[in-house]
Chains A and B, each alone.
Chain A
Amino acid sequence: MRFINQTKASSSPMSNNERKRFPRPKRDWTPVWERRFLVGPKMTPDAEKAKRPEDQMSIFAKRKKTFTLVILAVAGLYLISALVTSFSFFEGIESFPKAFIWITTYLVPNADSLTKLPKILDKLIETAFVAVAVTVCAAICSFFFSLLGTNTTKAHPAIARAVRVIAAFFRNVPDVVWAMLLLFSFGQNVLTGFFALFFATFGLLTRTFIETIDEVSSECVEALRATGASTLQVVFQGIIPSVMSVIISWILYMIETNIRASTLIGILTATGIGYQFDMYYKQMNYASASLVVITIVVLVIAIEITSTRIRKVIM
């Protein structure tokens, strides 16, 4: 390769006469790939200005001002909310040791509570299975739903926008609020918890899958389209293999989250392990309640470890 880098004036391809007849049009683009190596990036007037020391000073001053304002705002918010709720941070800290002592004296499983272990485990497994079932159902639904919302596979821009709006709606209503809403229609029932988790998971996964599909598979989708593959073939031969590992990783994460969430929602819907805890707690059977907490912690840690393993294998 030979680099030609001579001065402009000495080697013009046109004579001056020609140049006048065919004035070269002004262009706003640059033949980048040739120029980049020869001429450094041209500094725009704005960029040059920003380099001047006095402007740099003003940038720092501005940053300082913003920083002070943020601190003041946080302090103000704290004061207002403390006044409204009559919560004192220092009292809160003070009560910590007391709470700790209470936990260690009352919240300890005893022999009596161990007799309840089979029942607790039964409820725990039920809750875990509901969480897994919800996540898997939601994942399958949101995968096919998200295909309508991606830039790579969308049928129509309007449909894609609608899909994104629907996903955003389901995602932005928290699962607990879904549970409260659904209590009205289903009552205290496993279905309430199921749908509450389903909606929240569905919203989050749809949005995530849309992003994943666009990010991971848009290039191979274009290539498969160009070979004449049909949409279904593109989905199964291009998209699914490309995004599978990311999707599984997300499903595992959602299973973890949903097991935690389902214990809480169980308190609301009077089902599963959450309800069991609530009952023992209200009966002041703290030993059994603590056993419930311990089994939940063990389960969550076990799931976490397994899913980390699975992730390592599929990545």
Chain B
Amino acid sequence: MDGKRETIEKKAHGMTSTAMTAEAPLLEFQNVSKIYDKTTKALSDISFKVSEGEFVSIIGPSGSGKSTILRCINRLVAATQGTIHFDGHDIGLADKREIHQVRKKTGMIFQHYNLVNRMSVVENVLHGRLGHKSTISGVVGFYTEKEKEKAFEILEKLGLSDQAYKRCDELSGGQKQRVGIARSIMQQPRLILCDEPIASLDPSSSKVIMDHLSDINKTMNITCLINLHQVHVALKYSQRIIGITSGNIVYDGPPESLTKDLIYEIYQSNEGELITDVE
């Protein structure tokens, strides 16, 4: 197992030199491990860097630790070992206030959208501001005119103007995910974490969502880190792909160098056992 991993990493390394820029990275994992409940090893000794403005996909089989990586960044879960640096914060050492700062700067998008279904679309978008407000004005839902204008501007951009006053449970999956994106942009984040944003969507809504994410990445210079199950989507949209298998990084490089064989290694399958659309 170890031997195999080394060779793949070597293969990958030779090809990634261009992806690693010299600047101080926005996000850096150093030898991070995560063990759930003292028994389940979700991540073992993971290291990688993400520079500002990158669009990075993480692929890997179910249970390989993709969600855990994202959750460690905004401390929805705490890493067991190693250090994570994000925009000058050491996530592992951060106290409550600093975690608050980190969460303000990172948007998160979920597979199941995770909206407040009984509230209107625009209120859900404004929830992105909660981290920036005083507790009391957040509690009573008081937003400034400027914030409201901004919310409508974002909704317009995502093609949701007509839905602004609808309740979220009246929306389709694709529309809900766009609300999720709007909420995270509202935060004006440095980094957006997407945990399988298109796993519950049909191919055409998936394309809309991925196009929006890609557009946000380019026009707003927001770094994106995306967990994906669709290898072809990862190949099409990402500047860089991280392949992970049972808590280990087995590939880290540009999509062009991700060959079929490497995909089989990531998913630990033989050819013929995998549905894929990669030629």
Contact = CB atoms under 8 A, between A and B. Distances in A.
A219 interface: yes
A6 B264 CA distance: 14
Contact of B116 (A3, A31, A242): A242
A63 interface: no
B61 A233 contact: no
Contacts of A33: 62, 229, 275
Contacts, number: 150
A77 interface: no
Interface string B1-12: 101100000000
The number of chain A residues touching the other chain, given as a range, is 35 or more
Interface stretch (B31-39, B133-141, B218-226, B236-244): B133-141
Contact of A227 (B4, B119, B131, B269): B131
Interface residues of B, number: 57
Interface string A208-219: 000000000101
Interface stretch (B21-29, B45-53, B107-115): B107-115
Contacts of A8: 270-273
A226 to B, nearest CB: 4
B223 to A, nearest CB: 16
Given A13-B264, A27-B268, A222 B114 contact: yes
A2 B130 CA distance: 44
A233 B117 CA distance: 16
A6 B273 CA distance: 8
Contacts of B100: 228, 230
A6 B277 CA distance: 14
A51 interface: no
A241 interface: yes
A222 B107 CA distance: 12
B267 interface: yes
A22 interface: yes
B274 A224 contact: no
Q: Which of A2, A222, A237 has the most CB of B within 10 A?
A: A237
Given A11-B270, A29-B62, A227-B187, 13 more contacts: A4-B271, A5-B272, A8-B271, A13-B270, A29-B63, A31-B274, A34-B273, A38-B275, A227-B104, A227-B183, A228-B103, A233-B135, A242-B118
Interface of B: 1, 3-4, 61-63, 74, 76, 100-104, 106-108, 110, 112, 114-119, 127-128, 130-133, 135, 138-141, 180, 183-184, 187, 229, 246, 260-261, 264-265, 267-277, 279
Interface of A: 1-8, 11-14, 21-22, 24-25, 27, 29, 31-35, 37-38, 217, 219-220, 222-230, 232-233, 235-238, 241-242, 244-245
